[in-house]
Amino acid sequence: MHRVAVIAVPPATTFDLSIPELVLGEMTVNGRRGYEVRVCTARPGPVATSGSLRVAVPHGLAAADDADTVIVTGTGAREDIDPRVLASLRNASAAGKRVVSICTGAFVLARAGLLDGRSATTYWAKSEEFRRRFPEVTLRPDVLFVEDGNVLTSAGLSAGIDLCLHLVRTDYGPAAANAVARLVVAPPVRPGGQAQFIATPLPPESGTSLADTRAWALERLHEPLTRTTLAAHARTSVRTLTRRFHDETGLSPLQWLLHQRVNRAQELLEIKDLPMDQVARLSGLTTTDSLRQHLAKRTGLTPTAYRAAFTRHAD
C-alpha cells in the first residue's frame, strides 16, 4: 500500500485539505485500498483554518517520515511556517520521496527551498505574490499542475483533484484513475498543461458547448476523425471549432483526440488481453508503431512493458 502524509499548515484551506483523502482514500486495487492517507501537522490537535472552522489533526510529522508521498495543502502562511514542517519536507525530498503541493501549498515548498530552479504552479490569484517572493522559481501560473522530477505542484481548488487523479494514474494506471474520477464526479483527465481558467467562461450566444461533440467523439475514437468531422457534428466551422476547443479544453481538436486515444490504449492494455494491433486499431492509434511511439512518449514504456506493469482484471 502506498503511504501518503498530508501536512496541514495553519491557517489551512479546508477544501484543499480534504482533497487527498477524498480522492486517494477512495482508490482500491482488487478490493484493497491503494493508499493509506494520514493528515499530520507540526503540533497535533486543533488546527486553525482560513475560515471559521478548526480542524482536529491527530498525527505529528512522524507520519511524513514513514510516507512514500508527502502533500502540503493550501495555507495562508507565508513567513511564519513552522521550521519543523520545512525540515520534514526537505528530508522527504532528499530521501527521493514524491513531494506535492496543492494550491498555495507551493509557498511552503518554495520556503523549504524545494522549488529553486524548478518549474511550478500555484493558485493563479496568488501568482504575482509568489513571483515577488520566489524569483528563483519558474512559475507557470496558467496551468493546472506541474511535475518537475519528484516535486509536483497544482493550481488552486479543483486543480488539486486533477493532480491527485494524476498521482493515481501514475501509480495504478488510467483505469484506476477513471474509476476514482467517477466516484468523486470529476473529469477523468484534464492534462496538466490545461489552463487554470477560461478567459471566456461562457460560449458565444450563437454557439453551444462542445461537450456533446467530445462525448460523441469518445465513442468513436477508433474511427478516422478529423477536424472537419468534428466541426460537422458540432455544426460549426473548422476555425470556430478549433478556437472553442482550445477555450474549453486547453488543447487543439487533434491534440485532444490523440490524448484520448492514448488513454484508451492504456485502458485496453490494462484490462484486456488483446493483440497489440487490435489495441492500436480500437484506440484509434491505427498501427502498432504509432501505439508504441505515443505510449512511450506518454509513459516512457513500450506497450508490452506497460501491460506487464499495469495489467488488471476487469470485474
Share of the chain above pLDDT 70, in %: 90
Query: What pLDDT shows up at residue 196?
Result: 45
The mean pLDDT of 257-272, rounded to a whole number, is 89
What pLDDT shows up at residue 3? 97
On the CB side of 89, CA atoms within 13 Å amount to: 31
Residue 30 confidence (pLDDT): 82
Which residue's C-alpha cell is 512514500? 68
Listed residue (164, 197, 170, 196) closest to 183, CA to CA: 164
Query: At 215, which amino acid appears?
Result: A
- Residue 299: what pLDDT? 76
Q: What angle do CA 299, 277, 280 make, to 5 degrees?
A: 50
- Grid coordinates standing for 300? 516512457
Print the SS3 string covering 70-84. EEECCECCCCCCCHH
Average the pLDDT over each of 89-103, 128-142, 290-304 and give the range with the smallest value. Answer: 290-304
Q: Tell me whether residue 83 is exposed, middle or buried, using C-beta atoms within 10 angstroms of its C-beta: 0 to 12, 13 to 18, 19 or more.
A: exposed
- The predicted structure's pLDDT at residue 300: 76
Q: Which three cell numbers stand for residue 138?
A: 519558474
- Interval 65-80: pLDDT, tens: 999 999 999 999 999 9
- Contact call for residues 302 and 296 (beta carbons, < 8 A): yes
Whole-number pLDDT of residue 296: 87
119: part of which helix (H) or strand (E)? strand 119-120
Residue 289: is its pLDDT beyond 60?
yes
pLDDT at 203: 35
28: confidence class by pLDDT, cuts 50, 70, 90: confident
Q: Which residues contact 213 (CB under 8 A, 6 or more apart)?
A: 230, 233, 234
pTM: 0.65
Distance CA 9, CA 43 (A): 10
Mean pLDDT across the chain, nearest whole number? 88
Please state, in angstroms and rounded to a whole number, the distance separating the CA atoms of residues 201 and 25: 32
89-93, 192-196, 214-218, 285-289: least confidently modelled range: 192-196
Report residue 188's pLDDT band, with 50, 70 and 90 as the boundaries: low
Q: Are strands 28-29 and 98-101 parallel, antiparallel or unpaired?
A: unpaired
With a cut of 80, say whether residue 64 has pLDDT above it.
yes
| Assigned C-alpha cell, 32 | 484493497
pLDDT of residue 288: 96
CA–CA dist 93, 119 (Å, integer): 16
Cell of 297: 512518449
Q: What's the rounded Cα separation, in Å, for the pair 39 and 9?
A: 11
Highest average pLDDT, of 138-147, 188-197, 251-260, 293-302, comes from 251-260
d(CA 56, CA 297): 43
